[in-house]
Amino acid sequence: MHTLIIYNVARKHTREWERQINVFIRSFRRVGVTSYAINNSEALDYCRKLKDYLSFVFMWDKDAELAETIERMGIPTFNNSYALNISRDRILTHRILKNLHLPTTKKITIPYLAGQSNLPYFERLKEEIENNKMSYPLVVKNRQIGINETFYLAKNDSFLKKILEVKTNEEIIVEEFVPLNEGKFFKLMVLGDKYLCGAERVVDGNFIMHPNGQCALKQTRLINKRMQKLAVKAAKAIEADFAAIEMVLDVYGNPLILEINAAMRTNLLEEATGVHIAKKIARYCKNNYFAQKRLIRRRR
């Protein structure tokens, strides 16, 4: 049995990157699957050449268009193209969660003005902020989840205007800022229709620490059944086979879903929980690829 592990060509080949790739390769090997790491710019050529040999493709990348093209060739992808497309788009994710009455943070999208300043939209944005009962500070981030992102915290009108003026090349959103309840900010892992494990993110005051471009995680007993069930519902909502759910507790202790990541790293969460996540994902892919193949045949 063979698979390709597809990663984004924009990812820097750091020691941490190599460690994660090796964890995936080793995990697949342990469940009897031979895997090869290929960047997304070369993936289609390899899929065409190896079409008859590949059981499935593992997407460690949010390139939903690439995943959909591979699926049209009759090769299943994990995660599937639909889950990748929804999870990379914060507004699409938000709408699905709201339609299913799953608790999430308030978000407002700002129209993409093709390289022009977003400043002319400021007054309209203020109206939407008021209508949604949001207040400063506000978080400004890209609509599409990317690699090594930068978030902005707008503390007042002046800050927000400066951000709108500078952010011209991406579609951006404004999100409510949730004051952390004693620093309680979590990442929960879902596999199939079950909660797998979770950890608490290390925070400094109201801000998440990012050592070496990643968020530090620590073991916790604070993830209750309510949060676990909510994480499973979130993953199901975007039809993900596996996903990491970012969740925060507000000042009243109520869980809110921030984001759903369908192409995530596993190393830090494995270290924090002691659960061999990559191996469990690898076994899941091996056990479920045939059902996924039948599903994409019906869609074609």
Pure H helices in the chain = 15-30, 43-49, 64-72, 81-88, 90-99, 122-131, 157-166, 225-237, 267-273, 277-299
Strands 207-208 and 203-204: antiparallel
What's the N-to-C CA distance of the chain in angstroms? Answer: 24
Superfamily of domain 86-103+180-278: ATP-grasp fold, B domain (3.30.470.20)
In this structure, of 85-89, 102-106, 163-167, 225-229, the range with the lowest mean pLDDT score is 163-167
More confident residue, 202 or 109: 109
132 in helix, strand or coil?
coil
Q: CATH number of the domain at 107-176, please? A: 3.30.1490
pLDDT over 70, % of the chain:
91
Q: What is the pLDDT of residues 232-254, one digit of tens each?
A: 999 999 999 999 999 998 888 89
- pLDDT range class, residue 35, cuts 50, 70, 90: very high
58-67, 78-87, 206-215, 279-288, range with the lowest pLDDT: 206-215
Averaged pLDDT, 108-127: 81
> Each residue of 127-147: pLDDT tens digit?
999 999 999 999 999 999 877
Where do the structural domains in the chain lie, given as residue ranges? 2-79, 86-103+180-278, 107-176
The pLDDT of residue 113 is 67
CATH topology of domain 2-79: Rossmann fold (3.40.50)
- What pLDDT is recorded for position 212? 37
